[in-house]
Amino acid sequence: MVSAGGPQGSHPPPDRYFAYGSNMDPARVRQRGLHVRRAEPARLDGFDLEFRKRGHEHPRAGHANIAWARGQRVEGVLYTLEGPEEIRKMDHFERAPVNYSREIVVVETGDGPLAAWTYFANPAVLADGLLPPRAYLDHLRAGAAFLSAAWLARLETWPCLEPSGRER
């Protein structure tokens, strides 16, 4: 992985963004002003989905993050952007570099492996025992057209916080 400020070598920065959290919701991405040419399914091998990034809705609210996990994978949406500079628009919403760092990963697609930007939660904002609020988890489910049935079933059965703050 290469961080946003790290060395790029002779390769230009990617014009792709791999979303695994609430930005799997195409409507949310449009609302955030990201200009997208294409959206397609993708997966990141060697990582797993967690909800350990502290949210602001409730003391027990957790937002999506990914963590190294041998033998696991994370499914998501790969957005091909209008240009490599488009990803900077997401930094504001991800509160990078405070809450998340933006780094380059290689995701698997129907066209083979492709380099893309994604966001990793910074250790200072992680906590155990958190659950995604139902409304937040609904954004992930909005990416259903890009997810396998097994991944969608995993999201459908994930414990979450109801608007009342109770666990479901």
pLDDT digits (tens, 9 = 90+) for 104-155: 999 999 999 999 999 999 999 999 999 999 999 999 999 999 999 999 999 9
The pLDDT of residue 164 is: 66
Q: What is the CATH number of domain 12-156?
A: 3.10.490.10
Q: What is the mean pLDDT of the chain?
A: 92
List the domain boundaries for the chain.
Answer: 12-156
Q: What confidence tier does 7 reach under pLDDT thresholds 50, 70, 90?
A: very low
Strands 16-19 and 36-54: unpaired
pLDDT digits (tens, 9 = 90+) for 45-75: 999 999 999 998 889 999 999 999 999 999 9
pTM listed for this prediction: 0.91
CA distances from 128 to 4, 60, 123, 131, 164 (A): 27, 9, 11, 9, 20
Torsion of CA 154, 110, 77, 164, to 10 degrees: -10
Contacts of 27 (CB under 8 A, 6+ apart): 142
Phi, psi (degrees; rounded to nearest 5) at 68: -55, 130
Give residue 87's pLDDT band: very low, low, confident or very high (50, 70, 90): very high
